[in-house]
Amino acid sequence: MRITVRSGQLGQIRDGVLVFAALEGEQKPERLLPDSTARDKALVKLIADSGLRGAANETVFLPKGNQWILAVGLGKAKGLSLERVRQFAGTAVKSIRTRGHRHAVLPVLRERGLGDTAAVARALAEGALLGLYRYDKLRTVPKHEKNKHVDAITLVVERSGDVAHARRGVEKAEVIAEAVRLARDLINGPANLVTPTVLANQARQLAQQHRLKCTVTPFARLKRLGFGGIVGVAQGSNHPAQFIVLEYRPARAKATFALCGKGITFDSGGLSLKPSAKMEQMKYDMSGAAAVLGTVKAAAELKLPYTVIGIIAATENMPSGTAQRPGDVLKTLSGKTVEVLNTDAEGRLVLADCLHYAKRFKPDCVVDLATLTGACVVALGSEAVGLMTKDEKLAARLSQAGKETYERVWRLPLWDEYGPAMKSDIADLRNVTNTGEAGTITAAKFLEEFAAGLNWAHLDIAGTAWADKDRPYIPKGAVGIGIRLLINLMEHWK
Ligand code: BES
Ligand code: MN
Ligand code: ZN
């Protein structure tokens, strides 16, 4: 996909489908965006007469000479935001594709409070590139569909002096969208194809492409080295677990981030087997790992001035003759022992080892991402990531990053009164409570035991990593959540 930036008047461009934005509830034609459109009276009348109300993501195709124009609703002027711009772009390019056109021409909107040219261009490019994503690797695409793809996008700025600014935004968006697409591919990929070994090879490939350091520790060595949490989960699977560390280390880094990702390539529950309904969805239990891979890739390509260490535990959780049993006690890398009362609470076991391992990098900040609890889906649904941390500043930074990227986070308490429910009679900890209360929080309290001394935040992405329905720039399936959030966090760190 090629995105070009040029200057001029949108209505004057002779090639491609011209996309116009219309605000809701604005009768006056000058409220059509961008501003310059208002001067083209014929165009204004065409859109005004089309019946378009301007509601967010409403579309109408209109003929203009031998060209098509597409008017897309932006919603009310009052709530205009970069998120609306991302949605606007996603909606536009998708409907252009559906119509069988190949070239989309979008205006870099200029509206008070929306942000500078670079930010708007970035939002447009992100929305367009993410919206066009499809997971087509494994199906025979019918010919009439195959021929339908948008292969050029032109962003138009009014002033030639803005071209360079817009380009900067587009370049960032391209890096980020590429990282999100990689994560989506890994997550959408079924568990027979995306195994722990495949994740390790993906990390190695990224290391080669972006000059990163990659260390993979396979199952046999993990056993010897005392990674008891990962080994306990992995021992039931025929696919050997892989502990992956991917490091981006720029010269003169200003801070070090450690990112821990849950990489359960399939979660059957183990001997505490899950019900079969929707079990197939548990291929997405490695969404945290995918986000970590994508974030390290994007951070390196954007040349962020921070060391970023990705730490991933990749394994399956399977029932078998060698699987861990309910009641087993394992010894984690930290030395703490855990009574495994439910083998389906496996994410916290593998993350315990990741978090402990993170300490050796003396990070300024540690964030873990995990599809950790069904309780988080119940509590927050698919609109918010569960955030748990004791650090007010980190909480504020993540909330702000969530608002800006629309990968919104919602904080749950990590009060110490929730801790005792995770104590065992015969080991240091148990991996589930016996009441089932506050499942998302108690899981985080378990993790906290392994994050002592770290400036740490836990993100439960169980509800947000998978989309059950199409959204303007998030097609049904893998969302690739976390990458835009973490990159934003790092971009604003200091
Ligand atoms: N991967 C699941 C959590 C999950 C559930 C993610 C639904 C996405 C959708 C996790 O490993 C799990 O099974 N958690 C258990 C914990 C319980 C046994 C304490 C759960 O949430 O049921
Ligand atoms: Mn589980
Ligand atoms: Zn799981």
| pLDDT tens per residue, range 304-324 | 999 999 999 999 999 999 999
Instruction: Estimate the crossing angle of helix 439-448 against helix 347-358, to 10 degrees.
Output: 30
Per-residue pLDDT tens for 137-194?
999 999 888 889 999 999 999 999 999 999 999 999 999 999 999 999 999 999 999 9
Let me know: does 420 contact 429? Beta carbons within 8 Å: no
Domains, the chain: 3-175 (3.40.220.10), 189-491 (3.40.630.10)
Distance 281 CA to ligand 1 centre (A): 12
Distance 199 CA to ligand 3 centre (A): 17
Distance 269 CA to ligand 2 centre (A): 5
With the CA atoms of 158, 162, 166 and 169 taken in that order, what torsion angle do they form, in degrees rounded to the nearest 10?
-140
Which residue is associated with the tokens 């204004």? 44
Pocket residues for ligand 1 (CB within 6 Å)?
Answer: 267, 285, 342, 344-347, 371-375, 377, 432, 439, 462
| Pocket probe mutation, ligand 1, options 372, 373, 445, 481, max atoms within 8 Å of Cβ | 373
Sign of the torsion angle spanned by Cα atoms 87, 92, 95, 97? negative
Point out the ligand 1 atom lying closest to the alpha carbon of residue 274: 13
Point out the ligand 1 atom lying closest to the alpha carbon of residue 342: 18
Say which DSSP state 425 is in. S
- Write the single-letter amino acid at 331: K
User: How many other CB atoms are there within 10 angstroms of residue 3's CB atom?
Assistant: 22
**Which residues have CB under 8 Å from 171's CB, separation 6+?**
none
Let me know: does 464 contact 378? Beta carbons within 8 Å: no
Residues recorded for the chain: 494
| Confidence at residue 46, expressed as pLDDT on a 0 to 100 scale | 86
Let me know: does 484 contact 407? Beta carbons within 8 Å: yes
| Pocket probe mutation, ligand 1, options 274, 341, 344, 431, max atoms within 8 Å of Cβ | 344
User: How many other CB atoms are there within 10 angstroms of residue 229's CB atom?
Assistant: 31
Max Cα separation, the chain?
Answer: 80
Distance separating alpha carbons of residues 85 and 451, to the nearest angstrom: 38
Ranges of residues in the chain with a pLDDT under 70 are 27-39
Distance 448 CA to ligand 1 centre (A): 18
| Confidence at residue 30, expressed as pLDDT on a 0 to 100 scale | 47
Antiparallel, parallel or unpaired: β 429-430 and 337-339: parallel
Run of H or E including 355: helix 347-358
Antiparallel, parallel or unpaired: β 385-389 and 456-460: antiparallel
Whole-model pTM? 0.97
Distance separating alpha carbons of residues 108 and 1, to the nearest angstrom: 18
Distance separating alpha carbons of residues 203 and 185, to the nearest angstrom: 14
User: How many other CB atoms are there within 10 angstroms of residue 362's CB atom?
Assistant: 10
Distance separating alpha carbons of residues 265 and 272, to the nearest angstrom: 17
Radius of gyration of the chain (CA): 24
Point out the ligand 1 atom lying closest to the alpha carbon of residue 284: 8
Closest ligand to C-alpha of residue 340 is: 1
Q: What string of DSSP letters covers 42-75?
A: HHHHHHHTTT----TT-EEEEEETTEEEEEEEEE
| Confidence at residue 380, expressed as pLDDT on a 0 to 100 scale | 98
Distance separating alpha carbons of residues 478 and 291, to the nearest angstrom: 11
Which residue CA neighbors atom 7 of ligand 1 most closely?
A: 374
Beta strands in 351-433 (DSSP E): 365-370, 385-389, 409-411, 429-430
Instruction: Estimate the crossing angle of helix 483-491 against helix 163-188, to 10 degrees.
Output: 140
Let me know: does 276 contact 255? Beta carbons within 8 Å: no
Q: Which residues are catalytic?
A: 274, 348
Antiparallel, parallel or unpaired: β 307-317 and 256-267: parallel
H and E: helices and strands count for the chain = 14, 20
| Confidence at residue 354, expressed as pLDDT on a 0 to 100 scale | 99
User: How many other CB atoms are there within 10 angstroms of residue 276's CB atom?
Assistant: 8
